[in-house]
Structure 1
Amino acid sequence: METLQVGRARLTWLQGGVTHLDGGAMFGVVPRPLWTKKYPVNDKNQIELRSDPVLLEVDDRRFLIDSGVGNGKFSEKQIRNFGVLEESKLDESLEKLGLTTTDIDIVLMTHLHFDHACGLTRWQEDELVSTFPEAEIITSEVEWNEMRQPNLRSANTYWEENWKPIETQVHTFQEEKELLPGLKIIHTGGHSDGHCIIIFEDGEEQFIHMADIMPTHGHQNPLWVLAYDDYPVTSVHEKQKWMNYGYERNAWYTFYHDAHYRAIKFDQDGNRIDEVKRHRYAY
């Protein structure tokens, strides 16, 4: 498994499953000849998108950033439409680290779309139960409210089976929440109304987890936002703000969806100066 040390924080990428979505939808109004130079595409015009949770270990606390696609959550039609060629191997990933899902202290949910939230619950015989029974689950208040009361558009991605079994574990915040010294989850909106990013700073070392306002390295340009975004103009402004913030500090940018890179560090001009590539391997 790929790892990255940033100050006193250690990040480890787990195996949470994969989807393949339409590249045009993932790059919005950007012309195909442009975005295909930045990110590989298959003959169905789909791009590979991992859904790999990040285990974040800081100060003897274990956080998980998002939860993967889970297991047994998709119909045959959804498997086909979403290109789910692999479901979660979270348990196997944690076992390799000598851990189980009960060792996770806090789950940080950047947002609650199905490809981030399906892993929050799991089947136990014929009942859905919490995957992380000992953990607090933290998300923005706006996101949690929409998860439980989706509108006509968002009902396709906010699924009842992903929130009902864990509702007693959920803790919300409004603008931002400091979890430990230097570690914050911040409400940005954009991709969804309640979308959040995660920032960690330890002296001159830091990482920024942009979640789905920069889901892959191909989305570095602030203007390249998703057709899936509920508030694309907000995505543009928030991405520009936090990219400039990170460029000035030579921050690492970490990814949940990128099939090719786990993290990339940029200089003040936005040029790549370091990277952690994703290795393809099987359990």
Structure 2
Amino acid sequence: MGQSPGDDERERSRGGEFSACVAPWPGPPRHRLRATLRPMGDHRLFPRPPGADGAMKLGELTLTLVADGEFRLDGGAMFGVVPKVLWQRHKPADERNRIRMTTNCLLVERGDDLLLIETGVGDKGDAKFRDVFGLAEGATRLPEAIAAAGYAPGDVSHVLLTHLHFDHCGWSTIDDGTGRLVPAFPRARYWIQRGELAHAEAPNARDRPSYDPRNWRPLLDAGVVELFGDEGEPIPGVRAIRTPGHNADMCIVKLDGGGDDVAVFWADLVPTRAHVPVPWTMGFDLYPLETMANKEKWLPRAAAGGWLSIFVHETDHPIGRLVEDRPGRFRAVPLE
């Protein structure tokens, strides 16, 4: 879908605001990553056949799903105007009307590059935050999942954030032990959509609770942010595409391994398998009609092309493919 009227002007006005905070790109990393991935420990958020490796090949890309624990959000907010009698068939609610969620982050390796898409909820929340969002005690968190995949934080050369809501960028910064927040991945460039950063710095009353500046301001201070506009390509074959709906500047990520080897990381355009139907939008979506329009644009492409679909908040089968049962009617089939 094309930009709405005024988007170009808004993009230009937002662009200069942060230019001074962004250091120039220093070039590719100087050391070579290991040639093969270690198997990832079996994880209930990444179901796979017995004996299968935790990594999967997508042409020239190697993908590893790394989930950041579990949290809960209000089911009504997650499904908007969809009646509870319908959505609870897919996502049962607890006694506080919350449904189980996770943030499925993705490691993408290509040659010398290791990209991390999203950084989860993080560990900055206080006791009230942990209670409200039902953060599960003892669940595997993102740093542990990355270690289980055979990597250290210093191996990550790029981090791509689809947007700056707290559940997508929480491990971008960490306490260095002195109370100072620093980039969690010390060698990485952090890729952020320009308009999204501008909005995060001056959110409106409705979405202000979704943003925590502690997750990105230390990145600006460190000069490790790479801003982009309608599209950004942190490594060859991985393209972030501005896709309004959830908010004005969120991105989906298309992963092209060459030939027919394509995947799409839906971010909050299609956060779970239950959100595949075009009218099933979130109450959190600021522009639900744009969400629907972008689903009508992208879902047919994914189904026709046999692309892998990666659902950021899906707890049971986060990777699958879309099938079109009849014109405009799609569903997700879990990856075998």
Normalized against structure 1, the TM-score is what?
A: 0.91
When residues 30 and 251 of structure 1 are mapped into structure 2, their CA distance, relative to the original with a 3 A threshold, is: same
Aligned partner of residue 174 in structure 2, secondary structure: strand
2:121 to 53, 56, 69: 69
1:151 deviates by 2.1
What does 1:222-261 correspond to in 2, within 5 Å? 222-261=278-317
Tell me the equivalent position of 2:335: 275
Q: Give per-residue Cα distances to partners, 1:84-138, cap 9 Å, x unaligned.
A: 1247622322222332111111111010000111111111221111101211111
Tell me the equivalent position of 1:133: 186
Tell me the equivalent position of 2:267: 211
1:265 to 311, 321, 332: 321
- Structure 2: 5+ residue runs without aligned partners? 1-39, 41-45, 47-54
Aligned residues of 1:20 and 1:46 also touching (Cα < 8 A)? yes
Aligned residues of 1:249 and 1:268 also touching (Cα < 8 A)? no
1:272 deviates by 4.5
Residues 1:177 and 2:228 are matched in the alignment: no
Aligned residues of 1:15 and 1:88 also touching (Cα < 8 A)? yes
Tell me the equivalent position of 1:14: 66
Instruction: Read off the aligned partner of 1:82 and give its amino acid letter.
Output: F
Aligned residues of 2:321 and 2:334 also touching (Cα < 8 A)? yes
Aligned residues of 1:53 and 1:67 also touching (Cα < 8 A)? yes
Residues 1:166 and 2:226 are matched in the alignment: no
Supply the distance in 2 between the matched residues of 1:169 and 1:189 (Cα, whole angstroms): 25
1:156 to 199, 204, 209: 209
Supply the distance in 1 between the matched residues of 2:332 and 2:249 (Cα, whole angstroms): 30
Tell me the equivalent position of 2:102: 50
Tell me the equivalent position of 2:30: none
1:220 to 273, 276, 280: 276
Tell me the equivalent position of 1:29: 81
C-alpha root-mean-square deviation of aligned residues, in Å?
1.8
Aligned partner of residue 224 in structure 1, secondary structure: coil
Q: Give per-residue Cα distances to partners, 1:71-96, cap 9 Å, x unaligned.
A: 2x112211111111247622322222
1:271 deviates by 5.0
When residues 204 and 169 of structure 1 are mapped into structure 2, their CA distance, relative to the original with a 3 A threshold, is: same
* Identity value in percent: 32
Supply the distance in 1 between the matched residues of 2:63 and 2:318 (Cα, whole angstroms): 10
Supply the distance in 2 between the matched residues of 1:179 and 1:130 (Cα, whole angstroms): 17
Tell me the equivalent position of 1:115: 167
Tell me the equivalent position of 2:132: 81
When residues 105 and 21 of structure 1 are mapped into structure 2, their CA distance, relative to the original with a 3 A threshold, is: same
1:58 deviates by 2.1
Aligned residues of 1:69 and 1:88 also touching (Cα < 8 A)? no
| More divergent stretch after superposition (205-214 vs 262-271) | 262-271
1:43 deviates by 3.2
When residues 102 and 117 of structure 1 are mapped into structure 2, their CA distance, relative to the original with a 3 A threshold, is: same
Supply the distance in 2 between the matched residues of 1:40 and 1:252 (Cα, whole angstroms): 26
Tell me the equivalent position of 1:280: none
1:23 deviates by 0.7
How many residues were matched structurally? 275
1:38 deviates by 2.3
Aligned partner of residue 254 in structure 2, secondary structure: strand
| More divergent stretch after superposition (9-18 vs 135-144) | 9-18
Instruction: Read off the aligned partner of 1:158 and give its amino acid letter.
Output: Y
- Structure 1: 5+ residue runs without aligned partners? 277-283
Aligned partner of residue 21 in structure 1, secondary structure: strand
Aligned residues of 1:54 and 1:256 also touching (Cα < 8 A)? no
Supply the distance in 2 between the matched residues of 1:10 and 1:268 (Cα, whole angstroms): 27
Point out 4+ residue stretches in structure 1 off by more than 6 angstroms: none
Q: Give per-residue Cα distances to partners, 1:2-28, cap 9 Å, x unaligned.
A: 433222222112231221011111000
Tell me the equivalent position of 1:279: none
